[in-house]
Structure 1
């Protein structure tokens, strides 16, 4: 079967289409025939060797790549009774040190990293859910805000930010969204009560809307200190990239979200999408063989939603 691997860190040209053996599901695992694989910023960092440089993964002779998958169960290993062959599912490959990951025709995942696919969604739409949806849920849990409190979401038009806005609004939070000026209408449709155009001084703009500052922030755009300045003293701030958390000034509780596979949370996200209460957004789909082009497009910026590879 075909898979995209990295043998030497570098630019998009480091992505190699390789013929590899079909993996077999072991105890507690599920083998999935991949119909769609999401392309995320972490994939670019993996390919370029950034994560290895920070000690988040070790150098391997062959490095798999890709976190998000949507597809069909081909095989279940011993001890798995929650899924059956032929069932449509979504899943997340959250381990970095693997030789085969989501950019592949088939992949093996632990059963607790898999959930039923959302009804009515295309495979491409379903493939946008796992990494960004789970990161948004887990970031909201870390922010630990109560109904009626205010939350700043930077990068609100992106894959992660959009899910964070919609899920926060569903929890009864009052969302202040930061995004490009052209994104105000779609971001408000996701549930943002307040809008700040990207490029404005975030602290001053946010505090003009929420005197004293917001109760918490999810910094999907990795603004760092400028976003922290918009949070009230004693509030909470969630960073989404390792090493990007600002100093916890003014007693603000600053934490990093380190996303983890969670089949229960993933199933709930899938249910929300199936009910039309959570909005997956696909920027474009490309064949698996054009993974390098997908990385180039993502690096260029300006996308709304996720690029998706189709084996």
Structure 2
């Protein structure tokens, strides 16, 4: 079978579509025939060696790429009562140090990292959800806000930020979104009550709308101290990129969202998609052998949603 791997760090030229053995699922695991696999910034940072330099992974002879997957269960290991052959599922491969990731013809995942896919979404759409929506919802969990409170979401037109807006609204929070000015209509459609165009002094702009500042912030754009300034004293702040969290000035509780796979939470997200309350966004699709093009496009920026590879 084919799989996207790297054998050295560097630019998109190090990406390889390799022929590897089809994996078999051990106890508690399932094998998925991949229909669609998302491409995320973590793939670029893995490929470049940035994550290894940061001490987040060990350099290996072969490293597999791909976190998001949607497809069909075609083999089940022992001790997995909740799935059946032929189930349409989606899931998350949340380990960096693997020889085989989700960008492949088949992938084996822990059953606990998988859920039945949304019924009202295609496999391509489903493949945009796990990493980004779980990052958004786990960030909101860390804030521990209650209904009626305000949450600032930076990068609100992006993949994580867009999901964060919708999930905040689903929790009864009042979303304050910041993004490029042309994205205002988009983020308001996602449910943002307030909008602040990117640029200028974010803290002052938010405080003009919310006296004292927002109760919390999900910093999907990694603005750091600039976004922290828009949060009230004693509020909460969730960074979504390692090393991007600011100091907890003014008693603000600062956390970093280290994403983890969560099958039960993916099931909840699928229900929100089916209810029309969570919107997958596909920036484009490419065949597996054009993974380097996907890396170039993602690195160039400006995408609204995620690129998806079709094995």
Correspondence 1:40 to 2:40? yes
* TM-score, reference length from structure 2: 0.99
The equivalent residue for 2:131 is 131
The equivalent residue for 1:90 is 90
Per-residue deviation, residues 82-115 of structure 1 (Å, max 9, x unmatched)? 1111110001000111000011010000000000
The equivalent residue for 1:255 is 255
The offset of 1:211, in angstroms, is: 1.3
Correspondence 1:291 to 2:301? no
Q: Distance in 2 between matches of 1:37 and 1:180?
A: 28
The offset of 1:120, in angstroms, is: 2.1
Q: Distance in 2 between matches of 1:158 and 1:105?
A: 28
Q: Distance in 2 between matches of 1:125 and 1:265?
A: 17
**What is the 5 A alignment of 1:199-218?**
199-218=199-218
The offset of 1:70, in angstroms, is: 0.3
The equivalent residue for 1:114 is 114
**What RMSD in Å do the two structures reach over aligned CA positions?**
0.7
The equivalent residue for 1:264 is 264
SS at match of 1:153: strand
**Higher alpha-carbon deviation: 137-146 or 199-208:** 199-208
The offset of 1:21, in angstroms, is: 0.3
The equivalent residue for 1:188 is 188
The offset of 1:199, in angstroms, is: 1.6
The equivalent residue for 1:65 is 65
Per-residue deviation, residues 102-155 of structure 1 (Å, max 9, x unmatched)? 110100000000000100211110001100111111100001101111100000
Matched length:
311
The equivalent residue for 2:179 is 179
Per-residue deviation, residues 213-241 of structure 1 (Å, max 9, x unmatched)? 10000000000000000011100000001
Per-residue deviation, residues 144-175 of structure 1 (Å, max 9, x unmatched)? 10111110000000110000000001111111
The offset of 1:250, in angstroms, is: 0.6
The offset of 1:201, in angstroms, is: 1.7
SS at match of 2:71: strand
The equivalent residue for 1:143 is 143
SS at match of 1:264: helix
**What is the 5 A alignment of 1:21-32?**
21-32=21-32
**What is the 5 A alignment of 1:214-225?**
214-225=214-225
The offset of 1:200, in angstroms, is: 2.6
SS at match of 2:162: helix
Per-residue deviation, residues 35-80 of structure 1 (Å, max 9, x unmatched)? 0001111111111111111111001100011100000001000111
- Unaligned regions of 5+ residues in structure 1, if any? none
SS at match of 2:120: coil
The equivalent residue for 2:308 is 308
- Unaligned regions of 5+ residues in structure 2, if any? none
Q: Distance in 2 between matches of 1:306 and 1:86?
A: 26
